[in-house]
Structure formats: C-alpha cells, structure tokens
Structure 1
Amino acid sequence: MIQELSYIGIGSPHAEDWRRYGTELLGAMLAPDGPDGAVRLAVDDVDYRIAVHPASEDEFRYAGWGVANETDLHAFASHLESRGVTVHHGDAELLRERQVAGLVWFEDPWGLRHELSWGKAATPLSFRAGRTMRGGFVTGEQGLGHVVFQVPDIARADHFYVDVLGFRLSDRVTVGAGGADSTVDVRFYHVNGRHHSLALAELPGHVGFNHLMLEVEHMDDLGRLIDLLDEHDVEIVQSLGRHTNDLMTSVYIGSPSGLQIEYGFGGLAVDDLSWVARTYTRPSYWGHKRSAAAQAALPGIVKPLAAEAR
C-alpha cells in the first residue's frame, strides 16, 4: 500500500533558478546537489523531497511514492506485475541518487513515471526554512503535499490509479454539463490523512504535470509568500481562494519551469472509516481567479499525445 507522496523530480533548463525561488520565496531548504547537478530542496527533515534536474526543456521526470517497508515494496511490485504492469528494479546507482533503501519504477498508461520506494534518508532536526517563516510545512504522515496530472481519459486513468495502484477516491469536481460535455472533470485521491495526495484532471489529447501543492503550518507564511511575489517577479496564476472540497486556502503561482505551485494553508484531513466522497460543481468557495495568461495557456508541463497513444 502506498503511504505518501515522498518526492518529485522535474527537468528544466532553468534548474539553477530554483536555488533562489525554492528557498527565498517558497521557504524550502537547499540540500546538496544531485550527481547530475540537480537542484534539491528539503521541506522537512527528509534530506530532500524536490529535485530539479538540468535539462534542455521543461519536463516531468518522476513522482516518488513511499511504502512502509521492504516487505511492502516487494509485495506491491509483485501485485503490479500480476496486473500486467512492467516493473523496473532500481540499481544501486539509482538508489544512491534517490537516497532510498529500495526502489522499483513503472509508467502509467501515458508514460508518466512513478517510483515506489522505502527507507528515504532523513536527518532529525535538520530542516531550516530558506526564509523567515513562523512555522514549517505540513508533511509527516501526510507526505510532501499533492501532485495533479493532466490525463487524456479520466475513466481509464481512474481504473489504473484506483484498481491497480490502490489510490482511494476523496471526491470529484465537475463543472459543465456533465459526462463527456464537462468543461472540468477532476478526481481527487488520498493515501493517508491528507485530503488528496493525487488529483487527475481530464485534458483530451494531452498528458502532463499541472502543479505541486505545498502546505504551510501558518496562514502568516502564506501571506508572506504573496508579499514576496513582486520582489521575485513571480506571477499569480490563480488568486488567493478557498477550495470547496479540501477547504485549502491557497494561491497558485508560476515557477521557473512551467509547472504551477499551489501554496496553501488549512487543508482538510480525511478518515477512511467515516469519509464519504462527494461531487462538487464549484472548485472554490471564493477566489482562485485565473490570470489572463493562465486562461490562454495549457496548464503546467503538458504535451500533446500522438493519436495512437490517446
């Protein structure tokens, strides 16, 4: 069983810009570079959770999902193979790079890479925020935060992520006429107490990485980020608002590498013993107004699929 979103990796020609963006704006701590020069960021005592690899173009590289231990990793790998998923076992070099004790990886139906690991390296009492903050980030049993992927077929994606990988539906947001005519169709999934560690948004003919959400412990640290945006010449992609489903108060901002960062406070926790999935027809109670630039562009690091892959 997947326990958390453990880490993520992207590639970018602007990897170096993340040294200042990740620390002085987001408040993460700069960790030692990866072997390929990747800029690494920590948001808690796990030695790093975000890696930005040097690359010729912006690209999603991998999402790392944590399992409890070695036994669970072997059992999950066997389960995936029994469902027809091609599983690759990480070699010693990859384990050193990711700083984990064990790892396997595979791809979803559209080529998004996922890594399962256990034993991610951590150093107690090591985290120091990259800027003045009242608190830190909400991680612990809830993992890094959440990721949102654009997928061409929400029903097929739901089958893979739920029936094969074991993600549990928290709720969904549909805006529009419903069914095939919906203008927005997003499903939210949890693996722990965080309302969602994964969301899937349908975008026919495309696949990609929409955004990473980071949650802070204090509203003041969200407000301070908003104050710092002009100094860092970073645009607001969606204005400050509060979501209907997970109750997160957040702002969406641009990054040096195409993906958006949702920076939020006050997210809802779920309990599988009592949780009931709902359907919402509005994504937010208030706010989250998209900028003109955001309305005109594809969301995040997204690429069109070849016709045969759709």
Structure 2
Amino acid sequence: MITSLAYLGVRSPRSEDWRRFGEGFLGAELAADGPDGSVRLRVDDAAWRIQVHPAEQDSVAYFGWAVDHEEDLDVVLERLAAAGVTAERGSAELAEARSVNQLITFTDPWGFPHEVSWGQHFYPATFRPGRAVSGFVTGTQGLGHVLLMMPDIEAGHRFFHDVLGFKLSDKIIVPGQLNARFYHVNERHHTLALGQCPPGVAVFNHLMLQMKSIDDVGSAHDMLDEYDVPITLSLGRHTNDKTFSFYCATPSLFNIEVGFDGIEVNEEWVPYTYGAAAIWGHKLDPEAKNRPPGIVHPLAN
C-alpha cells in the first residue's frame, strides 16, 4: 500500500518567509506558486514536495502519502472503511492542485488530515538547488519522515500499523521522558514516527530532510545565525537510525531535522527497543523550551 511520504502541506501566516528559508537556508528550489499564492518547494525532480499556503494561523493542511499502483487506492479505501474512517476520492481539480494523477482524502482519529496519492508528477533532470548542496535523499524513499504526537500511542500504532500497513522499525522508550514508535514503508529507516504527548492535543512535531553529504548538514548549521533560524536540538546522532543531524524551527511552528547518513532497512529487519534517543548530542536548546513543540491542535472531546 503506502510506499512513501510524497508531499507535505501546511498553512501559515508566515508563508512568504519560506521563500528565503526554503531556498537560501535549506537549499530547496522554489517552484511556481500555487493558485492561492502558496510557496512551493522542490527537493528533487517532483513538481514540488512542500507547499505552504497563506493563512491566518499555522495548521497542517495535509500529509501526502504515495502508493505504487492506482489499484492500491481502492485497498486503502477498503481498509479505512473497515476501521470506521470516512475517506473520499479527490476531484480532478484537487489532483491537479497536488500535481498527482489521483488521490483520496481522510482525517485520522487525531484530527490530522491525510491524502494518499498515485501518479505524482515528475520532470526528470530539472531540479536546481537553491544553494550549493549535493542534494536530498528522495527517490523511492520519498520526501523524508514526519513525527506526529498523540496522547494514546498504542491506539496510534493500531491505526497506522494495523490499518494503513506501516511496519514497525523500532521503539525508543525513556521512562517519564519519551515514548516513541518508528515505522518504515520503504528502505528509509522510518517514514513515520509517533510520539506520546499529554491528553487533549495532537502535535505535528517535525519533518526530516536527509542530505546527500555531511557537509550539507554542516553548511546549514553554519547558516543558522545568518538566516535567523532558531535551533531546537543541537548536532547529534540518533541511536535507532544512526542519523547525524540537528533540528531547527521553521517559520511555521513545526521543526525540520536536517540529517545525513540514516541507515536503511529491508524485509529481514528486526525491530529493536532503545533506552535513549541519541548516542551523543541532540541537546534541547534552552530557548526551544519556550516554543510550542510543533503545530498543536486540540482534540475533539
């Protein structure tokens, strides 16, 4: 079924700030604006991968997942219906707006909006990075990974694993501090992570972009002050996927992890449980404690 994270859309009152942040800091390419004036960013030959719509407040517009075959959309619809989740086929106009051939839409039990698409538009040999970087790891691994936080992580596991088919890569459990699950749908160690958060809210915490060179991570880290980008977690290396990275705030509340050298998994992968999130580094910046953990929305009673 789902084989990658194809695209991401958010709404933000600071959508225009993404032009400088996305192109100059991240090294993405600015694509033509969306019909509503949204800022679209490319990190490979896909028409676009990140879209930031102008709005009065920050919110998640959609997580766009991909399937390999158009028939897989029917399977997703059937599984969602069996789980009591209403899903709809998107119109031709919506598919065109997302630069895909066809898609379905649904909202999960925690209020996150999702789209599952087939036939993402690609334009071979056209990607031009916004600054001097070696590029982003995409291809069959998709855009990267996202971390979603919810009060009942076991219910989250049942939905994303049992219903949508995400495969468990491992867990990180630090009693009283962290309870997280990591899931793969391709060779990327994880395309989705779930984390436990306090009752009453759900959070989109971060998007990870994997660079092709350690120097791409280092050069971005060097530009934090120049681009006035607040750091969230210092340089470090994760225990589970071994990614070398740092985390920073975006103009739209959620964070971006800029990473390199994440391990890959295969069909023989055996899940592990870790007692720490980092081998070294990834220290929370004191100023980050005063910011929201991402885009937060209240849960319905």
The residue number in structure 2 matching 1:202 is 196
In the TM superposition, structure 1's runs of 4+ consecutive aligned residues that sit over 2 Å from their partners are 295-298, 303-306
Query: Normalising by structure 1, what TM-score?
Result: 0.95
CA distance in 2, matches of 1:248, 1:266: 5
The residue number in structure 1 matching 2:246 is 251
* Code of the aligned partner of 2:295: I
* Code of the aligned partner of 1:55: A
Extract unaligned runs of 5+ from structure 2.
none
The residue number in structure 2 matching 1:95 is 95
- The 5 A counterparts of 1:25-174 are 25-133=25-133, 135-174=134-173
Deviations 1:29-86 (A, max 9, x none): 0001111111000000001010000010011111000001211112222232233220
Deviations 1:159-216 (A, max 9, x none): 111111110000011112xxxxx32101000000000000011102220210000000
CA distance in 2, matches of 1:184, 1:78: 34
Give 1:12 deviation, angstroms. Answer: 0.2
CA contact (8 A) 2:235 2:245 kept: yes
1:184 to 167, 171, 178: 178
* Code of the aligned partner of 1:126: T
1:220 to 185, 196, 215: 215
CA distance in 2, matches of 1:165, 1:93: 25
CA distance in 2, matches of 1:297, 1:237: 9
CA root-mean-square deviation: 1.0
* Code of the aligned partner of 1:110: W
CA distance in 1, matches of 2:232, 2:148: 17
Give 1:7 deviation, angstroms. Answer: 0.3
SS of residue paired to 2:177? strand
CA distance in 1, matches of 2:263, 2:38: 33
* Code of the aligned partner of 1:104: I
Residue 275 (structure 2) pairs with residue 284 (structure 1)? no
SS of residue paired to 1:34? coil
Residue 264 (structure 2) pairs with residue 269 (structure 1)? yes
Extract unaligned runs of 5+ from structure 1.
177-181
Deviations 1:246-293 (A, max 9, x none): 000000011111010000000010012x21111111000000000112
The residue number in structure 2 matching 1:237 is 232
SS of residue paired to 2:183? strand
CA contact (8 A) 1:101 1:117 kept: yes
CA contact (8 A) 2:214 2:260 kept: yes
Give 1:107 deviation, angstroms. Answer: 1.1
Give 1:296 deviation, angstroms. Answer: 3.6
CA distance in 2, matches of 1:217, 1:301: 28
CA contact (8 A) 2:11 2:54 kept: yes
* Code of the aligned partner of 2:282: H
CA distance in 1, matches of 2:78, 2:299: 29
State the number of aligned residues.
300
CA distance in 2, matches of 1:69, 1:301: 32
Residue 294 (structure 2) pairs with residue 295 (structure 1)? no
SS of residue paired to 1:19? helix
SS of residue paired to 2:56? coil
CA contact (8 A) 1:252 1:263 kept: yes
CA contact (8 A) 2:231 2:288 kept: no
Give 1:117 deviation, angstroms. Answer: 0.5
Percent of paired sites with the same residue: 52
CA distance in 1, matches of 2:66, 2:202: 23
The residue number in structure 2 matching 1:7 is 7
CA distance in 1, matches of 2:291, 2:212: 31
* Code of the aligned partner of 1:283: A
The residue number in structure 2 matching 1:179 is none
